[in-house]
Amino acid sequence: MTNPNPLNQPIGILHGIGAQTANRLQKLGLWVIQDLIFHLPLRYEDRTRVYRIGSLKAGMTVLISGKVEFIDVVPRGRKSLVCRISDGTGFINLRFFHFTANQHNALKPGTTLVCFAEARYGFAGLEMVHPEYKVIANPDDYVMETRLTPVYPLTEGLSQNMLRKAVKQALELCVQTPELLTDWLPESILKQYHYPALSDAIQTLHAPDESVSTLALQNGNVPALKRLAFEELLAHYLALRITRNKTKAWQAPSFSSAEPTGKIATEHFIRALPFKLTGAQQRVIAEIEADCRKQQPMMRLVQGDVGSGKTVVAAITALLALTAGYQVAVMAPTELLAEQHKRNFSAWFEGFQVQVVYLTGQLKGNARKAVLQALEDGTANIIIGTHALFQDSVNFHRLGLIIIDEQHRFGVHQRLALREKGQQDGIRPHQLVMTATPIPRTLAMLQYSDLDISIIDELPPGRKPIVTSVIPAERRADVIERINSWVGKKRQVYWVCTLIEESEVLQCEAAEKTAEMLTQALPNVRVALIHGRMKSSEKDSVMQDFKNHQLDLLVATTVIEVGVDVPNAGLMIIENPERLGLSQLHQLRGRVGRGNDDSYCLLMYQAPLSDTARHRLGVLRDSNDGFVIAEKDLELRGPGEVMGTRQTGQMHFKIADLARDAELLDIVQQVGDSFFIHSPQSVQPLRDRWLGASTEYSEV
Ligand code: ADP
Ligand code: MG
């Protein structure tokens, strides 16, 4: 007979947890008792010592004790009950907007109280609004807390007290029967990194005693927290590795059967290109070819700075699949990019008897039906689109390769879900993922630990570095004059508007105003506007006109951030660059410098600039290397920002914080890899502890 581990029982079996509370806890992701144990406090309150009232300052949340001096209902402003207490060092008012007659009577002058709340400035000096309080009949009976009080993340309808009681019961279970909570980290690792054992770490974080400094807790600088953050990062790493190992066990379509034809086609394709492939492109193509020859699905990430020529690498990979008789799906994060890929692929594959189709959410009715039909019956060979490719209605005839551009915009789950689509008779398509976001090595190791990585570390020859200057907005008139003379030289210009708000509407309005202003200021310049709220057909035609040099100046929101390619556009003005992340600015700037001529980027900031902002823009001025910039961005702002707030491909952690715990990433990989060899039995339970039933990184 098996005795189920009580920690895996639903929280509802705990004392005082009804069905309704259990439901609310589920909203926080808390289902079983073990989940409570890993639901750590957001912060702590200190009720372990009494502060002298005379020493209070506004903003302190503390415990005080004193005698009631007077109590009265004050009608001024909103009616309230005010009770003044004093401890001989000073006095403070307690204010209650909601009160009962009983309360009024219980707080008679001379009564001793203990109160806990934040001290704030009120009408008459410091006050505490609706403090927690206790009437103390005999001060000697009062028992002070010996541990900090945890403050947990909550959701509607839950109180701190409910959660504290529930967590307390969960912790008691662990204290009574320590073997319930297995410590999956081996002794040797705990020793090496000076980590406490799991049960100690848990107890410390839920109920720290006086030996733990509040400040250290706040900064995440206690071994207990580091240990759990490490364990959580490790679990995520293992989860991705598990996925990778599973993938390697699948069969993949072999492209080598078509090798002779494939080789000829590839040579033919490369010869027809208007340029010679760089050494880095050739190397990466060879890495990809080697993957595709194997019987296992390729899972490769190609990292390459903006303009390094990833698209053509993708096209050559596509050719391998096509000649072997398989379909190819190319997914881009925006319609603009998808459209550009459609144009490029259609042009490159002209004369190859390849049918390229296009699918986005905008495509409706019969046109959509026709595309879906062509995919299903195999008449379409390449499909290019946005995440519309994920939809259930999309079925492939024989999908052999999935290409995902600008991966950082997609979540891990999306990446894996698309692969499900191509699964047929136990065969899984190959997957090529491309990104221009040069994420620092340590982060890449965690985020992409299910992928092999290739780096295109060379730009096509003849590219001159973009000359970047940082100038204040007061010099707008000079900038406009510069545009005038630039356009006089038959060159083209981008003007990028940014806004602090995430509101697309406001961003578009700002861009509209700027376009109007520039149209008036520059009568001889053909100005057009492109923003995210335009129909894709409109965007397409504006972009096409700009590409064909029927327009000189393109005013844009950050929609042009990724991928857009117009070599004759060699001047870019970015308004309010201080509002964007360095990596995002670097990507934007990568729209220029695509031809062989000089190119310039003017970062036109709004004065005054903070020291950090000045420093950050300086980094961009002084470097054209995406990796250097990303490392600096990580240093200056933390990884959340490096990855960009709008980007969905982020990992979500309960405890770990990549900014705070960055130094753990190095050992996560080492320890993670050794787990598969030395403690394989711990891999799955450790993953499950932190990711539970989550399918975030698993194959559905
Ligand atoms: P990204 O890596 O940013 O996606 P693209 O694939 O859009 O870059 O390529 C940028 C530009 O460089 C395109 O105009 C492309 O045709 C061109 N290009 C690609 N490879 C080479 C090369 N080896 N030599 C010259 N130009 C190239
Ligand atoms: Mg690209």
pLDDT at 638: 53
Ligand 1 center from residue 270 Cα (angstroms)? 13
Residue ranges of the chain assigned to CATH 3.40.50.300: 255-456, 467-623
For the chain, give every residue range classified as CATH 2.40.50.140. 49-144
Q: How many angstroms separate the Cα of 520 from the Cα of each of 490, 517, 526, 572?
A: 20, 5, 11, 19
Does the pLDDT value for residue 639 go beyond 60?
no
- Residue 643, pLDDT > 50, answer no
Closest ligand 1 atom number to CA of residue 311: 6
Confidence of residue 640 (pLDDT cuts 50, 70, 90): very low
Superfamily name with CATH number, domain 49-144: Nucleic acid-binding proteins (2.40.50.140)
The β-bridge partners of 359 are 385
Q: Which backbone phi and psi does 91 adopt, to 5 degrees?
A: -130, 160
* 565 pocket-lining for ligand 1 (C-beta < 6 Å): yes
Comparing 560 with 327, which gets the higher pLDDT?
A: 327
Strand ranges in 211-298 using DSSP code E only, listed in sequence order? none
For 255-456, CATH number out of 3.10.129.10, 3.40.1710.10, 2.30.110.10, 3.40.50.300 equals 3.40.50.300
DSSP output for 634-693: HHHH-HHHHH-TT-------SS--TTTSGGGHHHHHHHHHHHHHH-HHHHHHHHHHHHTT
CB of residue 596 inside a 6 A radius of ligand 1: no
311 Cβ below 6 A of ligand 1:
yes
Question: Could you read off the pLDDT of 336-359 as tens digits, one per residue?
Answer: 788 889 989 999 999 888 999 999
Q: How does residue 533 score in pLDDT terms, banded at 50, 70 and 90?
A: confident
Contact criterion met (CB below 8 Å) for 367 and 294:
no
Higher confidence at residue 250 or residue 633? Answer: 250
pLDDT band at 600 (very low <50, low <70, confident <90, very high): very high
Query: Ligand 1: does its nearest atom lie under 6 Å from the Cβ of 496?
Result: no
Q: Which atom of ligand 1 is nearest to the CA of 456?
A: 2
Q: Please measure the distance between the N-terminal and C-terminal CA atoms of the chain and give it in whole angstroms.
A: 32
- pLDDT tens for 23-77 read 999 988 888 999 899 999 988 888 988 999 999 999 999 999 999 999 999 887 7
Of residues 143 and 106, more confidently modeled: 106
Task: Out of 319-328, 416-425, 516-525, pick the least confident.
Answer: 416-425
Residue 342 structure tokens: 């459609």
- Asked whether the whole model's pTM tops 0.85, one would answer no
Ligand 1 site, residue 150, Cβ cutoff 6 A: no
Residue 693 has what pLDDT?
A: 62
Choices 3.30.9.10, 2.40.50.140, 3.40.1190.20, 3.40.50.300: CATH for 467-623: 3.40.50.300
Which of 631, 686, 690, 688 lies closest to 662 in space, CA to CA? Answer: 631
Q: How confident is the model at residue 642 (pLDDT cuts 50, 70, 90)?
A: very low
**Per-residue confidence (pLDDT) for residue 502, from 0 to 100:** 59
pLDDT over 50 at 649, yes or no: no
What is the model's pLDDT at position 647? Answer: 35
